[in-house]
Chain A
Amino acid sequence: MSYLKVRTRRADDALVVYIDGYLNSLLGEEVERVVQEALDAGSKKILLNFEGTRLINSIGISIIIDIVEKIMERNGMLAFCSLSRINRELFQMTGVARYVRAFDLEEEALGYFAQSA
């Protein structure tokens, strides 16, 4: 169904993906699809913005891990931003936090991408 459209935005050579709502398998797969498309189209820098994420479940986390792996395989860059406290904690518990830098603000993350261009 189309209500699961994932908003995205280009910022220079990076793609910002807005994850709004409940990150479960449905939304997760949509995010995965969007990221995959971007990678296939040659994008190297992906920023996941969790500002609108209300909840994440374990399947959502597994999908995020898959995304992390995919991007690492292609030597891309991935960052998170605007994580709520519980979500930040969740990524720490699951070990995802070790592989991905998380920023408070979208601008900070984009700045980090720009620096390492």
Chain B
Amino acid sequence: MRLIWNQGAGFSFRAEEFFGRDDELAALLRVCLEGKSGIGASVMIYGPPNVGKTSLLLKLKYDLQTLADGAAPPRPFPFYFSFSKILSHPLALSQHFLQEYLWQLLVFLGDSPPAAFDIDALSDRLGIYGLIDCREFILAHRRFTDRGDGLSALVNAFSFPFVPGGEIFYPVFLFDDFQYTCKLQNIPDGAVLSILRPYIKSGHFPMILSGSSPGHVTSSLKREGLFGSFQLMEVGGLSPAASEKMWTSLFERRKIQMPGHIQARAAARLGYIPVYQRMFAEEVSFRDAQVTDEIGFENLFALSITEGQLNRYWREFFESAFPERMLRARAIKFLKRVVCDQFPLDTFEGALSLLGTSPEEGGEILSALEFKGLLKSDFEQLRFVGDPVLADFLYWAFERGVLGKSSSQVGAALVQAKLSRATAESTEGSREKWVGVTKELMRRWDCREVPMLLFRFGSFRERFGGKGLLEVVIGMEREPQKMRLPKISSVSTGYRTRRGGPRFDFDLVAYGFLDAEFSEENLVIWAADVMTEKALTANAVEHFENRCRLLSLEKGLKPEQLRKWILFDGSVDPAALERVAQYDIFLSHRSQMRLFLNLFGVEELDLTPEEHKAPEFPPGAEPLEFELVLPMKADTEIVAARVAEEVAAYASLDKDTVDRIKMALIEACINAFEHSGAESGKVRLRYILSPEKIELFVQDEGKGFRGGHGGEESKRNRGWGLKLIRELVDDVEIATGERGTVVRMVKYLGHEPGKEGAGSPGPE
């Protein structure tokens, strides 16, 4: 009788091997426990395949079981059921579903269920616990089965668990791999949801659906008018901290040693995805490898991608998703362009033309990718997973399949790319940012006077070494020696005096004029270098001075027309300090820069690259900032919307944009009202308008965004608010901290909304 046994996942799950996802678990747990008072919210979990959705559900089940022991009845009965490809026949599915439910219920009640997996025996045993309703259901089910009426049998099986559990328990439904309900034989798409619809609508049963294909499921949800009743939860990689904990556990058991910084690197390379971490640990242990440094790690990683565990994992994945070879090759070639080369793509039409096949075949490929969760299609917009391991696998598959290279060749290329890119990234990233911020700063100089000490690191250190920031600021204000900055007309990186001539590589070269008048006599050039090395050496200063000398020679600059400026982080050799004084080079440490930036109201150094790269920012145009505090009263969100209208008037935005901003703000305010616990609380809004974007911050004083404070309103609105916000503005970020939740929304005012949309990595 027990041909298909679907608790496999349940048995292999070990709670002690589950790490991270605390926020998600807390939110889900809250939803489940609300079932006790008859409030049943529905959540849909989605994310790429094998990212850990099933583990999350099983961990939730485990937590519910362990937590419920002490609590007063009714206790939550977490019923985990996984739909699968095998159970595509409705009769098989309904039969199995019933068995599974009865079996898990008996286990839950503390029974040892009969070994023979026999429905009658199971229901007899349940009778002992006073649960006698099931008899009738089972009789009816048998009638339908005998008649071969699959749909009725399904209706019967799926309605059964909703018979109230009375005083003893209330059911919590954890339905896994839900996308397979769309692929039942001879049953219309979404029939299972139609059956479940009244129970979902009744709002009494906590129900968590999980699947890798949100598109399929959401479209059936929409058809059933259920979409609004669902909260969506996207599952991606773990947090770095949780990933690290997982390494510890994986390595301990296998007696693997790996230095901490390599572990961090490995976790990042694997996208913080648990299943990869597990495979990689197996790889290390299987090959008995010693991973002690970056090179060792990259080699092993490349080996795993080209012929080891990670390779096998994705190869099998593609073989099962695309049994037909031609389609598989097409899909891989296509995905390689999109996921690995980050070809920007977000429309269906674009995807079809990149696939270069007939619409039917292309549609088949895309729908298979969608079904497997590699691609998310939402409101006609496509989004692909940003999985680093998949990207490397695709690279391998492409190089080998299309270009015919050998695995070891590809592996070597991977290692090479990773090692060179990694070193460039780690130092380049912060340096680039710093250069960007300095550039922004220089654009704002505008003939202002600043204390000379900002450019004289030696004196600065003497005067303020070890003092607090406030003291320094006050001291600086009284500084008598000032320096008049030029008005900068352009700042660029590097400089070439003439076509084909030698290039003067400075991080920044700024053209300025000492007065507002742009004349040849007034011209000054500032050459600046940003050095992020640990220590500034005499050699580096020497090198800088040489380049400056060449530049001034080429351009015929008088000494006072060229200002030389080194910005640095870290320490400075005494010899370097000497040279700096000798050549009259300005030298500023990062701490001086901080003061400098402060003075000009430029953001701190951790500005994101996109923001400071916007070259169109006209000099002198400071962002406009407005603040508003709303009392938590019904309908005050209208005030927020009206202020938005007024703010937008400054930028003469078109009506559509203003309307979208207003809607998004209203939703964010309603969310803030609902979710911040304090009734007497306030919601703080900030509107920041700059030429390229409008930024909106909505901050409440509560403790989290998905909080479950009942109330009629929040039940009706469930799930819509955030969803709409995401549609209405270009970027949304939600941060919950000690002092409440802040929703940051950005609407770009240019004509390229969300240009980073296509290639942005999914997890994290």
State A65–B716 Cα separation when bound (angstroms): 10
Number of chain A interface residues as a range? 20 to 34
A9 within 8 A of B: no
A107 within 8 A of B: no
A24 and B635 within 8 A (CB): yes
Known: A59-B716, A61-B720, A62-B717. A90 touches B635 (CB 8 A): no
The number of inter-chain residue pairs (CB within 8 angstroms) is 65
- Chain B residues whose CB sits within 8 angstroms of the CB of A22 once the complex forms: 635, 638
Query: Which of A42-50, A74-82, A93-101 has 4 or more CB atoms under 8 Å from chain B?
Result: A93-101
Known: A55-B638, A58-B720, A63-B716. A86 touches B227 (CB 8 A): no
Number of chain B interface residues as a range? 20 to 34
Q: Which residue of B lies closest to A72 (CB)?
A: B225
A94 and B663 within 8 A (CB): no
B670 and A59 within 8 A (CB): yes
State A80–B670 Cα separation when bound (angstroms): 25
Known: A24-B635, A58-B724. A65 touches B670 (CB 8 A): no
State A93–B225 Cα separation when bound (angstroms): 13
A25 within 8 A of B: yes
A95 and B222 within 8 A (CB): yes
Q: Which of B379, B637, B659 contacts A93 (CB 8 A)?
A: B379
Closest Cβ–Cβ distance, residue A19 to chain B (whole Å):
16
B716 and A57 within 8 A (CB): no
- Chain B residues whose CB sits within 8 angstroms of the CB of A24 once the complex forms: 634-635
Q: Which positions 10-63 of chain A face chain B at CB distance < 8 Å?
A: 22, 24-26, 55-59, 61-63
Q: Which positions 529-575 of chain B face chain A at CB distance < 8 Å?
A: none
B225 and A65 within 8 A (CB): yes
A108 within 8 A of B: no
A104 within 8 A of B: no
Known: A69-B225, A93-B724, A95-B222. A58 touches B717 (CB 8 A): yes
A57 and B228 within 8 A (CB): no
- Chain A residues whose CB sits within 8 angstroms of the CB of B660 once the complex forms: 86
- Other 10 A-B pairs with CB < 8 A, given A26-B634, A99-B225: A57-B717, A58-B720, A59-B713, A59-B720, A61-B720, A68-B225, A84-B659, A85-B659, A93-B724, A94-B228
List 8 tightest A-B contacts by C-beta distance, closest first: A58-B720, A86-B659, A95-B222, A62-B716, A59-B717, A93-B727, A58-B717, A58-B721
Interface residues of B (CB under 8 A from A): 222, 225, 227-228, 379, 634-635, 637-638, 641, 655-656, 659-660, 662-663, 666-667, 670, 712-713, 716-717, 720-721, 723-724, 727
* Pairs A–B under 8 Å by Cβ, sample size 14: A22-B635, A55-B638, A56-B663, A57-B667, A58-B721, A59-B717, A61-B228, A62-B720, A93-B724, A94-B227, A94-B720, A94-B724, A95-B222, A95-B227
